[in-house]
A and B are shown apart, each in its own frame.
Chain A
Amino acid sequence: MIKKRFQVKGMHCVGCTMAVEGAIERLPGVRSAAANYAREYADVEYDEQKVNEAQIAEMVALAGYELVLPEQA
């Protein structure tokens, strides 16, 4: 289980943080997600064996936001 911080773009209100967190936590292998609107990031705690960064980014994209992967940053 590891914890990583990702930059999240496109959150234009505090309600968006709930949508981002909800989207990430739907993934099996994710223990928790905590998004911050003001600083535009999401802290994700997940099991690397069950889920990867690309899958997390894809789930966030489905919810209408952009999670920036370390190699894109």
Chain B
Amino acid sequence: MNLWAIFLTGLTTGGITCLAIQGGLLATAMTKQVEVPLKGRKRKGQTVTAIQVTRDMGPVLYFLAAKLLAYIVLGLLLGALGEVVQITPGVQAAMQIFAGLFLLATALNMLNVHPIFRYVAIQPPRFLTRMVRNQATSESLFAPLLLGAMTVLIPCGTTQAMMVLAISSGSALLGALIMGVFILGTAPTFAVLGFAATKLGTGSLRKTFATAAALLIVVLGFWSLDAGLKLSGAPFAPSRLLAGLFAQPEVQIAEATVVGDRQELTITVDDRGYHPNIAYVRGDLPVRLWMETNGTFSCARAFSVPSLNIMQVLPDSGRTAVDLPALGSGSLRYMCSMGMFEGVLVVKQQEVSLND
């Protein structure tokens, strides 16, 4: 398990995608938490001091610490769960579709489209909010703590991929390590944005920020929904409909080689997907896919064949065999567990196969 690679994933992709989902919502919430106590104490003519800036950084740090702790606990549970069950592409698809709908509803709430969307916001239990108010001095700190811990409820796409990794590790300790290291990686991006959010105030700038975040969430919501639909094999996934209208930007075609009583095909897995993404195979022989990774950190590593219920997390560097039965006829789609990258095996008519 390459923990350094996981940290880097958090620092780059994870930091940005998680920020779009959680940062937008939670930084907005934090803005208010910082403002309310300040309003109460502010005296006429008082200006912002260095002490105040330091104090404003407090909520961000509390938020991040709680988030880290919550995800370590989550990793611990997922790792333990991995010892018992495996997440199938079907479950993954359901998770993605749910996440997509949740994101869209969240964005619609942020944009004040209809009061019904206010119900997607999860309100902390009464006893917790009471605890906050009973500790007047920690009023601006306890809420970010809670919100930080609550980010486990809205994991972004990359986080979900890490959650799958944690489950597939099949060990509570490894699961906790994976999630902990990943969240540590996302922390710098969150710290910068969180602090910026506390400085945005309640004026038009904050409104613009919230709108921009909401629009970004709409995009991610559709993305997640699309990935879920693709994973579930739905032919009406938006990206498939679009692909029908526009040519695929990068198509690489190959053909499997017959080796003894099976055929073999090498697929290179990098951060941009699977190469080749179209391969011809014979329908009467089982297929061994050799999945080659070399410093691959994207979700393409979470290789899945939904129709065969296959889900395998590939090492960041190495060569992994994935065995498929004889396909008969038709085609078989393979993709990453997020549905972002995909490819297809097409059964070729035997008389035109080059290997005969």
Contacts and interface: CB of A to CB of B under 8 A. Distances in A.
Query: Is chain B a partner of chain A in the same complex?
Result: yes
Interface of A: 12-19, 21-23, 25, 34, 36-40, 62-64
A40 B133 contact: no
Nearest to A15: B29
A63 B129 CA distance: 16
A12 B39 contact: no
Interface of B: 25, 28-30, 32-33, 35-36, 39-40, 115, 118-119, 121-124, 126, 129, 132-133, 139, 143, 147, 202, 210
A21 B28 CA distance: 19
25 contacts: A12-B32, A12-B210, A13-B25, A13-B28, A13-B29, A14-B29, A14-B123, A15-B29, A15-B30, A15-B143, A15-B147, A16-B32, A17-B129, A19-B32, A22-B132, A22-B139, A25-B133, A34-B126, A36-B123, A38-B121, A40-B115, A62-B39, A62-B40, A64-B32, A64-B39
B116 to A, nearest CB: 9
A35 to B, nearest CB: 9
A38 B119 contact: yes
Nearest to B128: A18
Given A64-B35, A64-B39, A13 B121 contact: yes
Given A16-B32, A18-B133, A62-B39, 16 more contacts: A12-B32, A13-B28, A13-B29, A14-B122, A15-B29, A15-B32, A17-B123, A21-B133, A22-B36, A22-B132, A23-B36, A34-B126, A63-B36, A63-B39, A64-B32, A64-B36
